[in-house]
């Protein structure tokens, strides 16, 4: 994997701007880019969507396949997430075996969905111990202008929210397309989405651009869901080698709570349509 090249001059400029509460693209430190969502990207899957935060663009698709359940949960469907950070999306990415960035991305998104119980796995059982549906979420980065974690995470949620149930042909034991009218079983009330904050210079910054990401000291991803109108933490992941002080943590938690309140209603609408 190549390194993102960042002149020191640019780094100093980003940091000194943020010192005055400004960003190179004119946003405030805690401001997210405009989010756009497009559904129906591929008719051949259960669902496929495009999500953009500014210029960062990710596609995510859902497939359902027939599978044998795991022995320790014979009446549950199974779930798998993959993420392809394709070289078309960035200088940094290479063809081939998934690198650590795509592994981390896929695993953080996979855990968030799996552990929250967003997909009702029990309802994906066809015959206990023998046949269940396997749900695949496949993420594909089209353009990386920073914050792939949040963009890919939202794309995965929307793809699942819009996913259609397969039509099971019992006689031939195969799937005959998807039922346009029937969604996959979801526990809608546990929906949570992730927000990633970076420390740059002395500032805490949300939804970073590629250049900002390259000078980050640490990042902290926080996923929050709804608990009777109040935000509740459902997942966290710290990245990079910087350390988080008590003061930074306080700032991030406050920002996350207020951003969640601003963004959650719209995101719920985007996910469930």
Partner 1 sequence: MAAPTTQSVPLKGKKGIYTKREDGRKFTDVRPMTAKVGIVPSADGSASFSTGKTKAIAVVRGPRTLHPQHMQNARTGILRVSYGMMPFSVEDRIRPGPNRRAEEIGKVTEWALSSVVDLSGFPNTVVDVFVQIPQADAGTRVAGINAAALALAHAGIPMKEMVSAIGVGKIDKTLVVDLDKFEDSEFHDAEGSTDIPIVLTSRKKEIALLQLDGKISVEEFKAVIELGKVACDDILKVQMDALKNAGDCKNG
Kindly list the residues in this chain that would bind partner 1 in the complex (CB under 8 A).
98, 100, 103-104, 106-107, 111-112, 115-116, 220, 225, 227, 230-246, 249, 253, 257
Q: CB nearer to partner 1: give 165 or 267.
A: 267
Strands 230-239 and 131-143 come out as: unpaired
Q: CB nearer to partner 1: give 46 or 216.
A: 216
Rounded to a whole number of angstroms, the minimum distance from the CB of residue 1 to partner 1 is 10
Which residue shows structure tokens 């210079």? Answer: 201
Q: CB nearer to partner 1: give 130 or 250.
A: 250
Rounded to a whole number of angstroms, the minimum distance from the CB of residue 64 to partner 1 is 22
Rounded to a whole number of angstroms, the minimum distance from the CB of residue 115 to partner 1 is 4
Using a 10 angstrom Cβ sphere, with 0-12 exposed, 13-18 middle and 19 or more buried, the burial of residue 154 is: buried
Residue 77 dihedral angles phi and psi, to the nearest 5°: -65, 170
Rounded to a whole number of angstroms, the minimum distance from the CB of residue 14 to partner 1 is 20
**What b/e string do you get for 115-140 counting C-beta neighbours within 10 Å, with b at 16 or more?**
ebebbebeebbeeeeebbbbbbbbbb
Tokens describing residue 109: 């998104």
Determine the Cα–Cα distance for residues 145 and 36; give it in Å rounded to an integer: 15
Rounded to a whole number of angstroms, the minimum distance from the CB of residue 4 to partner 1 is 15
Q: CB nearer to partner 1: give 12 or 189.
A: 189
Does residue 89 contact residue 152 with C-beta atoms inside 8 Å?
no
Q: CB nearer to partner 1: give 34 or 72.
A: 72
Tokens describing residue 99: 């690198």
Give SS3 for 251.
Answer: helix
Using a 10 angstrom Cβ sphere, with 0-12 exposed, 13-18 middle and 19 or more buried, the burial of residue 181 is: exposed
Rounded to a whole number of angstroms, the minimum distance from the CB of residue 199 to partner 1 is 11
8-state DSSP, 36: E
Rounded to a whole number of angstroms, the minimum distance from the CB of residue 191 to partner 1 is 12
Determine the Cα–Cα distance for residues 68 and 62; give it in Å rounded to an integer: 19
Q: CB nearer to partner 1: give 26 or 71.
A: 71
Q: CB nearer to partner 1: give 146 or 231.
A: 231
Q: CB nearer to partner 1: give 46 or 76.
A: 76
Determine the Cα–Cα distance for residues 134 and 233; give it in Å rounded to an integer: 27
Determine the Cα–Cα distance for residues 107 and 162; give it in Å rounded to an integer: 21
Rounded to a whole number of angstroms, the minimum distance from the CB of residue 257 to partner 1 is 6
């Amino acid at each position: 994997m190549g390194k993102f090249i960042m002149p020191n001059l640019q780094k100093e400029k980003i940091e000194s701007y943020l010192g005055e509460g400004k960003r190179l693209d004119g946003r405030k430190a805690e401001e997210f880019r405009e989010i756009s969502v497009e559904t129906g990207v591929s008719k051949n899957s259960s669902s496929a969507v495009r999500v953009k935060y500014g210029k960062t663009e990710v596609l995510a698709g859902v497939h359902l396949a027939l599978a044998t359940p795991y022995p320790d949960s014979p009446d549950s469907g199974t779930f798998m997430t993959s993420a392809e950070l394709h070289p078309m999306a960035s200088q940094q990415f290479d063809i081939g075996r998934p690198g650590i960035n795509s592994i981390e991305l896929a695993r953080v998104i996979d855990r968030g969905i799996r552990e929250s119980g967003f997909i009702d796995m029990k309802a994906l059982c066809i015959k206990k111990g023998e046949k269940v549906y396997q749900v695949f979420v496949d993420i594909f980065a089209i353009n990386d202008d920073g914050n792939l974690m949040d963009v890919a995470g939202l794309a995965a949620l929307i793809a699942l929210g819009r996913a259609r149930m397969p039509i099971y042909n019992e006689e031939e034991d195969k799937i005959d397309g998807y039922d346009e009218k029937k969604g996959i079983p979801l526990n809608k009330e546990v929906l949570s989405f992730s927000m990633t904050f970076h420390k740059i210079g002395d500032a805490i910054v949300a939804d970073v651009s590629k250049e900002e990401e390259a000078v980050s000291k640490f990042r902290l991803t926080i996923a929050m869901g709804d608990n009777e109108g109040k935000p509740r933490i459902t997942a966290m992941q710290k990245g990079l080698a910087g350390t988080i002080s008590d003061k930074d943590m306080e700032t991030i938690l406050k920002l996350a709570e207020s951003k969640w309140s601003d963004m959650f209603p719209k995101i719920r609408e985007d996910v469930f349509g």
